[in-house]
Structure 1
Amino acid sequence: GAPMMGGVPQQPMWGGMQGFPYGGYNPATQMNQFTDPNNTTVFVGGLSGYVTEDELRSFFQGFGEITYVKIPPGKGCGFVQFVHRHAAEMAINQMQGYPIGNSRVRLSWGRSQNNSGVGTPYRPAPPPPHYMGMPNHGPGPYGPQHFG
């Protein structure tokens, strides 16, 4: 029964412990690195210089209530801030590559104006645990105890 005692209880334990911090964290961190769940500002890139804020608003107001539309002069881009997050998500999904004026726009999340100074609430992923190397020693920890 020795191999069973040595091998079996150990594997699930180590496997489970390593799997946890990573499985649980990554999808969330990648999604939210630049997207804070309260952000409702859509960045519209690739605008032609002739589009006005009113025109831009008319393209996006179908998705939901808009807080403001801003087109900084001469930048070839604009910002549309929605009241609700899901409206902004829909706009990004459906207006991607849409021709406005005479050019196709590319959409992404803008930096929301009202809390630009505040960091996102997500902490970075934890550093890899220190015991990563230990399972390689297998029965190692039992060794020295025989002599004591």
Structure 2
Amino acid sequence: MIPKEIIIVPLFRIIDQMGWVNSLNGMIWPNVAIAFGVFMLKGFFDQIPDSLREASRMDGANEFTVFYKIMLPIVKPGIGALFILNFVQVWNDYLWQLVIGQESDVKTLQVGIATLMQDLNPNFAYKMAGAVVAAIPMLLVFGFFQSYFTKGISAGAVKE
């Protein structure tokens, strides 16, 4: 649960040793397995009754089948909510994108929009147009996963 800003120097050294500086791998992979996602999905998996798992094992299902066909459909709202939250966090992660994408051909949209303001006479129309274009992918992802997001966020709100 340590913020990335605290571990940015050792994380950069690891990514540099792997040769992922100025690449999409260096921007994406450090954000895939985050502690928040582990804790969030653990809560969803803990809500599944043990009797459901035991019944499927008694019916002859192996561990992979129990996970894939029984447990995964039950936790789909949690996975959808985690996907949206992680996507928004990674999409707006300005500092990490600025550090990893050092060449101009690898810079992301957010870093490119921020560089528009570095001129002596900045054009605010370009910056606002860029902000609208940068918001479109987040709106599309939320639109596609909205039902999972609302179910996932409100899943623990009501006790049965």
TM-score, reference length from structure 1 = 0.30
Larger gyration radius, structure 1 or structure 2: 1
Structure with the largest fraction of strand: 1
TM-score, reference length from structure 2 = 0.29
